[in-house]
Structure 1
Amino acid sequence: MSLVQAILIGCVCALTQLEGDWLGECKLREPVITGFLVGLIMGDVAKGLFIGGSLQLMWMGATNIGPTANLDIGSGGTIGAAVALMTGSDLEVAVAFALPVAVIMQMLNIMKMTAFSALMHSADAAIDQGNEKKLIGIHFLCGFFTFLIYFSFTFIVLYVGSGVIDAIVAGIPEWAQNGLSAVAVALPAMGFALLLNILWDVKLIPYFIIGFALAAYLGVDMVGVCAISVAIALIIYEIKVNQLKSAPVVEKVEDEWEDD
């Protein structure tokens, strides 16, 4: 990997950590986006999109509920796709690196947030004093250090440690590669199962059956199923709108109170 590529991928990984803070909810952390960007940087957009999309399916059901720590899919997806493209490997290598990186970087994020909590006293004091400039400075200082931490980690792993990564990938035995290939196939299904566990409702059963029948028996690909789903959603929307328009308007009659 060249120096420029390592710098650009480091920036992508760091920017995924600023989503929700500086960048708002722009979905930059999603693996399908980072996979595209890494593929663009590495010169193989198609493979980057394939790896990112597969990791997206794997993690789409992951959610942060209560005190349960979520996975850092931004860092995991970025580094996993970069390692697979850098070594010329397939999805199983991306999964092998993406999963542990996502766990490790989430632990790093917890330590980072714990360290930043020390600045909360200064932020509270700035609010009490009405010192807006100091408060803005603390906000941007935290963002700057967040960017620096994740950029440095990604750059060191991909550029300085590229030889180690090549040795690790080359040293994976065949039985482990076969196991990782099976995991790479099974994890997207698990991601869908986790998502359905959160969103499932009895009213959704007919739509699930329609999608399954289209894919399993009629050979419609995912793009076709999505197009049909959008059409069904628009039809239902129009029906609901027409029902609301045709519904009788009930006027609210206010009670009149009279003094005796």
Structure 2
Amino acid sequence: MSTISIILVAIVAFLAGIEGVLDEFQFHQPLIACTLIGLVTGHLVPCIILGGSLQMIALGWANIGAAVAPDAALAAVASAIIFVQGGADTKNIGTAIGLAVPLAVAGLFLTMVVRTISVAIAHIMDKRAEAGDLRGIEIWQLIATSLQGLRIMLPAIALTFIPASVVKDFLGSMPAWLTQGMTIGGGMVVAVGYAMVINMIATREVWPFFIIGFVLAAISQLTLIAIGALGAAFMLLYLQLEGKGGSGNGNGASGTGDPLGDILDDY
């Protein structure tokens, strides 16, 4: 990996780290992080495929109460770097996905360290606030945010200095039963992640749309744009049906006579 690529990968990793707490531009999402790393390393398409697979896993990850979800940013960045260092062969995507899950769990340790330090920084910011030092508050806020970026950037830089030949030899030396097992396990994790999302949002009213979506996804002639357009059409259809069903008079008359308009006005 060239020096410029290493610098760009470090920038992407830093942005992914700070986005893990900011949630402004979603750089920490696997699909975006892997795509950016593929872009700066010259392996765009394979990394998009990897990011899409990892995104299906991360869909089911969420912070609930005091329980912190696995680190999607570190999983995406580290697995993408390993994947690129190994030659970005699509045959190794299953192995990269299998490595992503333990990397995400390992990232929880770095998250705990940074958040522990952030508690001390918060107390410092309280003292700066008592003193009326707004500039000091801003500086310490930037420091705390930068620590979130460094927790991803430093491991990413370390991985880039591992020779590509070493990574290729490592991947090549793995026995077939292990690589196949990681591929199968990675596919199962993707299915479990998607099932968790369905379990959270599925209702009796939307199940027909899930079924239609799976059927349409099997039609290879349909592009993603076409499927997205159908999804938007189904959304509008659902809003129309919901408006008519919730009017209480059976004829869909509500407010202005336009159920969709009334629903959108409510929001």
Report Cα offsets for 1:74-106 as digits up to 9, x if no partner: 121112122112212421121133222211122
Report Cα offsets for 1:40-77 as digits up to 9, x if no partner: 11212111111101110122111111122211111211
Counterpart amino acid of residue 4 in structure 1: I
Alignment partners' CA distance in 1, 2:229 and 2:181: 34
Q: Which runs of 4+ in 1 moved over 6 A?
A: none
Alignment partners' CA distance in 1, 2:239 and 2:4: 48
Report percent identity of matched pairs. Answer: 24
Q: Within the alignment, does 1:110 sit opposite 2:112 as a pair? A: yes
Counterpart amino acid of residue 184 in structure 1: G
Alignment partners' CA distance in 2, 1:166 and 1:132: 51
1:58-137 matches, within 5 Å, as 58-88=57-87, 89=89, 90-137=92-139
1:26-45 matches, within 5 Å, as 26-45=25-44
Q: In structure 1, list runs of 5 or more residues that go unmatched.
A: 248-260
Contact 1:48 1:81 in 2 (8 A): yes
Report the TM-score, using the length of structure 2 for normalisation: 0.82
Which range is displaced more, 238-247 or 97-106?
238-247
Contact 1:215 1:222 in 2 (8 A): no
Report the TM-score, using the length of structure 1 for normalisation: 0.84
Query: Paired residue for 2:200?
Result: 198
Alignment partners' CA distance in 2, 1:201 and 1:41: 41
Question: Judging changes above 3 Å, is the alpha-carbon distance between structure 1 residues 149 and 220 closer, same or farther for their aligned structure 2 residues?
Answer: same
User: What SS is found at the alignment partner of 1:69?
Assistant: coil
Alignment partners' CA distance in 2, 1:162 and 1:212: 39
Query: Paired residue for 2:229?
Result: 227
Alignment partners' CA distance in 2, 1:213 and 1:166: 38
Contact 1:3 1:159 in 2 (8 A): no
Question: Judging changes above 3 Å, is the alpha-carbon distance between structure 1 residues 245 and 236 closer, same or farther for their aligned structure 2 residues?
Answer: farther
Report Cα offsets for 1:144-193 as digits up to 9, x if no partner: 33334432221012214655534432221111011112123222221110
Query: Paired residue for 2:13?
Result: 13
| Greater gyration radius | 1
Number of aligned positions between the proteins: 245
Counterpart amino acid of residue 176 in structure 1: L
